[in-house]
Amino acid sequence: MKRYLKIFRLQLVNQIVSYSIFKGDTILLLISDTFGLIFSVIFFKALYNNIHAIGAWNYESTLLLVGIANFVDSFYRFLFEKNVRRISALVRKGTLDYALIKPIDIQFYLSTGRFNFQTLSSLLLSILIILHAVKLLRLAINVFNVIVFIVLLMVGISLRYVFSLYSSIISFYTTRVSAFHSLQAEIFKYAEYPLDVFRGLTERIFFTLMFPIILIANAPAIAIIQNRNYLVILSIFISAVHFYLSRALLFASLNKYQSAGG
C-alpha cells in the first residue's frame, strides 16, 4: 500500500507541474466546469417555484442531492475519468502491451496517473452547496453522521468509477466505445434527482442494483437527513459486488487481449 501511495503522489506532482505551464487555459477550464452545476441549481429552483415538493423532497433537500451528486461526479472525473477512458485507445493502438509488462497492479496503472484539474472548481462549489443545504435544513450533525456520510460518498465515487470501467472493458471486444461512455455518463446525471421520482418497484430495483444511481446521492442524503443507516450496509454491499465484478471482467478481458505482436 505504501508503494502505491508513493506512486500516486509522484503522479499527482507530475500532473500539477504540467498544468502550471498553461495557467491561462487551466483557469478558463476551472470556470467553465462550474456551469453544469450552476444550471442544475437554477433548474431545481425554478421547478420548486411551481411545486411544493416531490414526494418527501423539498427544495432544500433536493439542493443537498445536487451538491452530493456533483461532488461525486467531480471527484470521479478528477481522479479517474481521463485514465479509464484512455483504455480503449491503449487497446486500439496496441500500447496496452507496455502497461502489462510493468511490475504494478494493472488496474491501478490503468486507473491512475492523469488528473482532471478543471473539475476542482465544481468540486469546491459542490462542497459549498452541501454545507449551505445542511444549514437550510437545520440538521443536527454529529461525528457519526459525518463518518456515515463520508463512507457513502466514497461508495458513490466507487460506483461512478466502476461503471465507467465497465464501458472501457467493452473496448476489448469492440474498440469504439465512446457511445457507451456517453450513455453511462448520461444515466448517472439522474443521480441528483429525488428518490421519489423513481416511484415504481421495478424502477427502484433497476436503479439500485443494475445502475445504482439512487445510491450515489440519495443514500448519503437520506442517511444524514433521516438517519437511515441501513443504507450504509446496502450501499457498501452493492458497491463491493460491482467492484469485484468489474475487476474480474477486466482480468478476463486482458486474458483474451491480442497484443500488438499478436
Q: Please provide the DSSP assignment of 207-254 as one string.
A: IIIIS-THHHHHHHHHHHHH--THHHHHHHHHHHHHHHHHHHHHHHHH
In this prediction, residue 175 has a pLDDT band, given cuts at 50, 70 and 90, of low
Q: Residue 174 in 3-state DSSP? A: coil
pLDDT at 205 over 90: no
**Per-residue pLDDT at 23:** 53
- Parse the chain into domains and list their residue ranges: 7-256
**Per-residue pLDDT at 187:** 82
Q: Quick: pLDDT tens for 108-153.
A: 989 988 888 888 888 999 999 999 999 999 888 888 888 889 999 9
pLDDT at 22 over 70: no
Decide if 158 contacts 247 (C-beta within 8 A).
Answer: no
Of all helices (H) and strands (E), which one includes residue 154?
A: helix 143-169
Comparing CA positions, the residue from 55, 76, 91 lying closest to residue 177 is: 91
Q: Take residue 81 and report the three cell numbers written for it.
A: 475519468
Rounded average pLDDT over 8-37: 65
Q: Residue 57 in 3-state DSSP? A: strand
Q: Comparing 249 with 30, which gets the higher pLDDT?
A: 249
Comparing CA positions, the residue from 76, 100, 83 lying closest to residue 11 is: 83
For the entire predicted model, the pTM comes to 0.87
In this prediction, residue 40 has a pLDDT band, given cuts at 50, 70 and 90, of confident
Q: What are the contacts of 74-77 at 24+ separation with CB within 8 A?
A: 74/33, 74/119, 74/120, 74/122, 74/123, 74/126, 75/119, 75/123, 75/153, 75/157, 76/157, 76/160, 76/161, 76/164, 77/116, 77/119
**Per-residue pLDDT at 90:** 86
Q: Quick: pLDDT tens for 53-78.
A: 888 899 999 999 999 999 999 999 99
**Per-residue pLDDT at 240:** 94
Averaged pLDDT of the chain: 84
DSSP, res 81: I
pLDDT at 31 over 70: no
